[in-house]
Amino acid sequence: MSVFLETVLVEEAISTIQAIAPVPGTERLSLEFVPGRVLSEDTRADIDIPGFDRSVVDGYAVRSADTTGAGEAVPAMLLLTGRINMGEQAAGHSGPAGSCVYIPTGGEVPPGFDAVAMIEYCELIGDTVLVKRPLANGENIILCGEDFHAGEIVLKTGCRLGPRHIGVLAAVGCDMVPVYRVPRIGILSTGNEIVPVTELPTGSRVRDINSYLCSSYVKEHGCEAVLYGIVPDERGAFRTALGTALAECNAVLISGGSSKDERDMTASVLQEHGKVLVHGIAIAPGKPTIIGLAGDVPVIGLPGHPASAFIVLTVVVRHLLDRMTGVQSAGPAAMKSVALENIPSMKGREEYVRVLVTEHGVIPLFGKSGLLNTLSRSNGLVRVPAGSEGVEEGDTVEVIQW
């Protein structure tokens, strides 16, 4: 039984992982619990917003026609007939031509008036208001429904709800918000060399970095992490742990299996449960990545080294998580920058080079790809396409900030 497939291009790995992503369920939650969640239905305004003609300044509601030609020397002189209070209905405050009404910022402009003169450009003498500038029809007023019309879509399905969106939901009275459920991602660390973080590793043992790296990564991308701990490189133990994770989770990340023997075991046990779709991606670092499916549960085998695992999470697995959380996104927001040094590369595989992003451009952090310290020293990744032989100093590059 061969579980070795051809190495695939990053693009193909991404489309494979997107194709197997389970469709997320939905639920309705109170507005206070949805920051960071993803909207599962288009949301519409229930009413016109604002629901009335609203003044955006403190001043006097006027008829603009009454201010034609007004200036410092010859102000318009209007009779003050009343005062609007906040939240008060203004219908009773209409007045004849030549009159005006005091109105605060946010107050309702009474029928008949079509502009608001800012208090800074007016003078009150007795019950007469001197208006020292001409006003245009509609000036300093937001009309009823000008912000949103009743029934208009205000936010679309797939929107990850940041503070601005939460504010818009509050405005349209969406107090029970339809959102996608949070997917559960199972995380297994494999390897006889792995010890718990609380232990002092002896000999050639290393601490379990990947459980924490993967769980904080999936949490950052809107998922719940379920940790299954460290599983020894032993077929029976691995089979049992994977079976439990498959039963309890919507997707499973297996980190570790750095050596060829371990990678073979991961792939062959996965084949018992389902099928291996990708075994090896043309990406550096990160080549020994496995993408498989057990029933309808995606199973991803990540490289054992944390730095490689993190690049595969950022470049490939992120697309799985985005689909599973329902977020509409074009993937990691890449920004453009300039290479401040040459970045050599081997043709035939996409390379992702850890970089320091500065104001002036990006500085590649070289050194052996297996170094963990490049994770904390870098603040971004530059992609060097498979067809390229590298990037030259001064070239424009795409940066994924992380």
- Identify residues 82-111 at the interface with its own copies (CB under 8 A): 85-90, 104-108
Nearest residue (CB) to its own copies, 221 versus 323: 221
Residue 178 in the binding site for its own copies (CB under 8 A): no
Site string for its own copies, 284-323 (x = CB under 8 A): --------------------xxx---x--x----------
Residue 130 in the binding site for its own copies (CB under 8 A): no
Site string for its own copies, 38-67 (x = CB under 8 A): --------xx-xxxx-x-x-x---------
Residue 272 in the binding site for its own copies (CB under 8 A): no
Candidate residues 175, 248, 296, 393; the one interacting with its own copies per rule CB under 8 A: 175
Candidate residues 19, 92, 205, 296; the one interacting with its own copies per rule CB under 8 A: 205
Strands 390-391 and 396-401: unpaired
CB 86 to its own copies: min, Å: 4
Residue 32 in the binding site for its own copies (CB under 8 A): yes
CB 177 to its own copies: min, Å: 11
Residue 114 in the binding site for its own copies (CB under 8 A): no
Nearest residue (CB) to its own copies, 188 versus 214: 214
Residue 200 in the binding site for its own copies (CB under 8 A): yes
Residue 383 in the binding site for its own copies (CB under 8 A): no
Q: Return the residues of window 244-263 that contact its own copies according to CB under 8 A.
A: 258-262
CB 301 to its own copies: min, Å: 14
The stretch among 6-14, 72-80, 155-163, 317-325 that binds its own copies (CB under 8 A) is 155-163
Q: Return the residues of window 330-369 that contact its own copies according to CB under 8 A.
A: 335, 368-369
Candidate residues 81, 118, 268, 402; the one interacting with its own copies per rule CB under 8 A: 402
Residue 390 in the binding site for its own copies (CB under 8 A): no
